[in-house]
Amino acid sequence: MSVLRRSTLLFVTVMVLLPAAAADRLTVVSWGGAYVKSQMLGFILPYEEVSGTTVDVLEYTGGIDEVRSQVRSWNVRWDVVDMELFDAQRACRENLLMPFDHDTLPPAPDGTPAREDFIEGSLLRCGIGNVVAATVVAYDQDRIEQPPQSIEDFFDVQRFPGRRGLRRSPKVNLEWALIADGVPREEVYRVLNTDEGVERAFRVLSRIKPWVDWWRSGEEAIRLLETGRVSMTSVFNGRVFDAVQRGENFAILWDHQVWFMDVWVIPRNGRRTEQAADFIRFATNTESLARQMRHIPYGPVRRSALERIDPEIRRQLPTAAENTATAIEGDAEWWAANLDRLTGRFERWLERPVMVPRELPN
Amino acid sequence: MTLLVALQAQAEVDEVALLKEQLEALQQRLEDLERRLDGSGRTPAQSMRTPESRFETELLDQAVTGAERVEEAQVAAIDEPAPIRFGGALRFNHFLREDVSDSRTRRGDSGFDLFRLNVDGEIREIILSAEYRYSPSMDVIRHGWIGYRFADDSMVKLGIHRVPFGLLPFASHNFWDGVPFYAGFSDNHDLGVAYQRSDGPWDFHLAFYKNEELGSAGTLARYAPDVVRQGEQQNEEINRFNARAAYTLGRDTGCEHELGVSGQRADLVNATTDSRGNHWALAGHLDSRCGRWNLQIQGIRYVYDPDNPAGVSNDSVRLGAFGTSFDLAARGKLAVANLAYNFALRDSWLDQVICYNNYSRLFKDVGAGRDSELNTVGCGIGAGPLFAYVDLIFARNMLFFGDGSMADSDDDRWRGRLNINLGYYW
């Protein structure tokens, strides 16, 4: 056999084997901490067991920049991404995501078709909802002298002294700032839709800015509370549950919780899109969601999964009746349209210190 | 036909039974898996209600495959600053002196002010910081030191660094600075060793300086004033000890008040008499940052007691900097009162507008000289890498304003200067 023929044979063999090897791995990108732990136990490890696929789990802190970069360069390393709803909508509009065929989703155990089993708004053209989570205020009952009763208290550093933790993002912060300034929750997005409304929200945030430590991931928020760096912080409700299980004496202020949905999406131009869809079908089946909810109190997007949740955990869901009296539904459409603009402004606002800096250029 | 239907029905029943079997096996495998993760045979829900076991954590760590750790390492590498960083500045100055007629006629003068290069870095716990400055009047190293950071975050510095005395880092907000700077009690850099540490709200500095930073007390091209040997004044400051303690009330809140005391003591060697006098200074200071306001108050008492030869006055000492020399009353008190406000900016291309009024005064305890005063009202305006100081400076009997002097002179007229300094900082 000539060298050329042997090389050709070797090349063909490698080309045939490589995709087969690659097909046994899947890269899933999610949020880390207690949340990814619930996903690991809920369906990622079981999926590995069932499918024989090794799932590499990466953490990120949201946004669509990385997905955009990978898709546009046709160098897609992320097979499945857990996105916040407004990011998924933005990415879908930018044609960065694969459309998802809802008819391929498995029905509920009682045979109810998936389209009827999933809650309203959770089946997107480019993604499948997985959990409903909420941003809430949490505080350490062992450290705080006077627990806050409302979002207004969070913004009142005179009556409720101590540092605050807030997510480094305009999302939720602007809504809460307006609530603290007296805007009714039904009016929040209407007010934010005006320049004056945005200005008003930033003015309120400026009042507490010197007291704020900014976090990027839910884990950081919990760490701020655990170490006593802040007296209260905004945080995803599931992270508080996890910290309480570890023995922390944290409590949640449900007043004006902002709830939102997370969505599984598949970036375009990937090499394992079929396998990614298979993973999503498994991750969003009734059993997987119910199993995940044993480990984190986020609301499942399937009605059939909700029925299987322990009543004790069900009471801690953002969707529990006692927690929704003043809840705000995060307006994903509005954020999808305004996030880029407001993030730029938010970052500039953040860079400008409120206090006179100790050192000016010299 | 009936048989066929029956067989088909039986096959479906068998298939359902087989599927059920597979499902049960699958569920059993999942439960085994969960039990393995739990490590104690409890149900997952039970296990989550107790502190997480190490075994479970380890299993999860293993489950989150190597790819994640690689990515984390990459992220860390991106987030961490480079070990050695370079910076600098290029500045231009425009000024109009109201007491100089040709300056008024020309509507002021503009020119190059400064080119600055900075090197900063930290490799392991060893820190480096250096700054070189070139300006028409001098060509100097402003600071250059090597430091070591201890595990408790305290630090020791060796080299030319800022003397820990009084308000830090500056006793003013403006470009022209205040009287303490010209008297050598603010933003002064000397050669020595310093130790600094913070314990909660407390901040401590201890330092020893062998001598002024250049190793030659005759050199006038220096960043900040030091006692220099010029003309009949042949004094030099050596072996200086500094101590500074400050306590911050309301630390990490939006309203911080740093209260502090500083002291220094040095020998004053006279090259003509070859004998030693001494120098000491004490300061009390308040730096209050509350919301957008900043109030700085400082009082300094100082004494230079030189051992001059007969015929040379002991009422003043000679200082040198910026390529020139000038005299300072040998005994005196300094007062500083600065107020600044950081304006809230709407969605603007400007990043920073800080306006201030800085007042400082030298009360002379010896000689017949009138007190020296300096008042600057102005704003610092920042946009991206650009930063401009727009200052209206009024001075009475002050160095660089008419015949004013910080020693024995009696210029009682307030003189003004408009100073605009524009810099690109990187």
Nearest to B267 by CA among B312, B326, B212, B322: B212
Number of H helices, E strands in chain B: 6, 20
Token pair of A10, please? 């070797």
Residue B39 in contact with partner chain A when CB distance is under 8 A: no
The pLDDT score that the predictor gives to residue B49 is 30
Task: Please give the pLDDT value at position A2.
Answer: 52
Beta-sheet strands, E only, within B365-401: 372-383, 386-396
Task: Say if A362 is an interface residue toward chain B (CB within 8 Å).
Answer: yes
Helices A286-293, A273-283: crossing angle, 10 deg rounding: 60
**Residue showing tokens 């900075």:** B118
Residue at A362 is within a domain = no
Which domain, by its residues, includes A296? 3-132+262-320
Shared-domain flag, residues A203 and A68: no
For chain A, positions 321-340, list CB contacts with chain B under 8 A: none
A208 touches chain B (CB under 8 A): yes
B300 and B282 Cβ atoms separated by less than 8 Å: yes
A37 and A85 fall within a common domain: yes
Residues 6+ apart with CB under 8 A from B142: B131, B132, B133, B160, B189, B223
- Output the CA angle B221-B223-B226, nearest 5 degrees: 80
> In the predicted model, is pLDDT for residue B278 greater than 50?
yes
Helices (H) and strands (E) in chain A, counts: 17, 11
Shared domain for A229 and A98, answered yes or no, is no
Name the domain count of chain A: 2
Per-residue DSSP letters for A223-235?
A: HHHHTTS-SEEEE
pLDDT, tens only, A111-162: 999 999 998 888 999 999 998 889 999 999 998 889 999 999 999 988 998 8
* pLDDT tens by residue, B324-344: 999 999 999 999 999 999 998
CATH code of the domain containing A239: 3.40.190.10
Please indicate if any CB of chain A lies within 8 Å of the CB of B231.
Answer: no
Walk along chain A (362 residues) and give the pLDDT tens digit of each residue: 454 455 554 444 444 444 444 458 999 999 877 889 899 999 999 999 999 999 999 999 888 999 999 999 999 999 999 999 989 999 999 999 999 999 999 999 999 999 999 988 889 999 999 988 899 999 999 988 899 999 999 999 889 988 999 999 999 999 999 999 999 999 999 999 999 999 999 999 988 998 899 998 888 999 999 999 999 999 998 889 889 988 999 999 999 999 888 999 999 999 999 999 999 999 999 999 999 988 888 888 898 998 888 888 888 888 787 888 899 988 888 988 898 889 988 998 888 888 999 999 99
Strands (E), B275-371: 275-290, 293-305, 316-321, 324-329, 331-342, 352-364
Both tokens of residue A229? Answer: 């760096």
Q: What is the 3-state secondary structure (H, E, C) of A288-326?
A: HHHHHHCCCCCEECEHHHHCCCCHHHHCCCCCCHHHCCC
Domain assignment present for A280 = yes
pLDDT in tens, B68-96: 233 333 333 344 556 889 999 999 999 99
Contact A194, A187 (CB under 8 A): no
Is B285 within 8 Å of chain A by CB? Answer: no
Same domain, A218 and A286: no
Alpha carbon distances (Å) from B121 to B82, B86, B146, B160: 8, 9, 10, 16
> What residue type is assigned to position A309 of the chain?
I
User: Is residue A166 located within the same domain as residue A279?
Assistant: no
**How many angstroms separate the CA atoms of B345 and B145, rounded?**
37
Residue B291: closest C-alpha in chain A: A355
Q: Are A203 and A343 contained in the same domain?
A: yes
Residues B420 and B397: beta-carbon distance below 8 Å? no
* Token digits of residue B228: 């220099």
| The predicted structure's pLDDT at residue A339 | 87
B173: chain A residues, CB-CB within 8 Å: 356, 360
Distance of alpha carbon A188 from alpha carbon A190, whole angstroms: 6
Tokens matching residue B105:
């006629």
Q: Are residues A160 and A97 in the same domain?
A: no
Dump pLDDT digits (tens) for B145-160.
999 999 998 999 999 9
Looking at residue A14, its pLDDT comes to 43
Identify the pLDDT of residue B8.
53
**Residue A231 included in any domain:** yes
* pLDDT for the residue numbered A329: 87
Here the ipTM equals: 0.77
Q: Which amino acid is at A293?
A: M
Question: Are both A22 and A79 inside the same structural domain?
Answer: yes
- Full DSSP string of A80-133: EEEEEHHHHHHHHHTT-B----GGGSPPPTT---HHHHBPTT-EETTEEEEEEE
Backbone angles phi, psi at B108, to 5 degrees: 95, 180
Q: For the beta carbon of residue B348, count every other beta carbon within 10 angstroms.
A: 11
Instruction: Note the pLDDT of residue B7.
Output: 45
Report which DSSP code applies to B137.
Answer: T
The minimum CA-CA distance between B312 and chain A, rounded to whole Å, is 37
CA distance A98 to A269: 8
Q: Residue A116: inside a domain, yes or no?
A: yes
- Give me the pLDDT at residue B71, please: 35
Q: Where are the alpha helices (DSSP H) in B230-292?
A: none
Instruction: Return the H-helix or E-strand segment holding A279.
Output: helix A273-283
Co-location of A128 and A138 in the same domain: no
Are B253 and A56 inside 8 Å of each other by CB? no
A196 and A302 assigned to the same domain: no
The per-residue pLDDT for B11 is 52
A175, exposed or middle or buried, with CB in 10 Å at 0-12, 13-18, 19+? buried
Residue bearing tokens 């502190």: B51
| A361 lies in some domain | no
CB contact set of A296 (below 8 Å; sequence gap of 6+): A34, A35, A37, A38, A131, A238, A241, A242
DSSP class of residue A185 equals G
Beta-carbon contacts below 8 Å between A and B: 118
Contact across the interface for A36 and B72, Cβ inside 8 Å: no
Count the neighbouring beta carbons within 10 Å of the beta carbon of residue B209. 24
B9 — pLDDT class (breaks 50, 70, 90): low
d(CA A308, CA A287): 9
How close does chain B come to A288, measured CA to CA in Å? 11
Q: Give which of A58, A69, A55, A61 is closest to A25, Cα–Cα.
A: A55
Higher pLDDT, B74 or B229: B229
Give the pLDDT mean for B57-66.
36
User: A248 and A269 share a domain?
Assistant: no
List all residues 6 or more positions away from B306 whose beta carbon is below 8 Å from its beta carbon: B233, B235, B268, B270, B277, B314, B317, B330
Does the domain formed by B81-425 have CATH 1.10.150.650? no
Strands in chain A per DSSP E: 25-30, 54-59, 80-84, 123-124, 127-140, 164-167, 212-215, 232-236, 250-265, 299-300, 328-329
Mutate to test the interface with B, among A160, A220, A356, A359 (most CBs of B within 10 A): A356
B242-255 burial by CB neighbour count: b if 16+ within 10 A, else e? bebebebeeeebbe
* Same domain as A113, residue A149: no
* Annotated domain spans of chain B: 2-73, 81-425
CB atoms within 10 A of CB B92: 15
Q: Helix A237-245 vs helix A218-226: angle between axes, to the nearest 10 degrees?
A: 50
Of B45, B68, B342, the CB nearest to A353: B342
Q: Distance between CA B267 and CA B280 in Å, rounded?
A: 9
Note whether A168 contacts B: Cβ–Cβ < 8 A. no
Peptide bond into B169 cis (omega under 30): yes
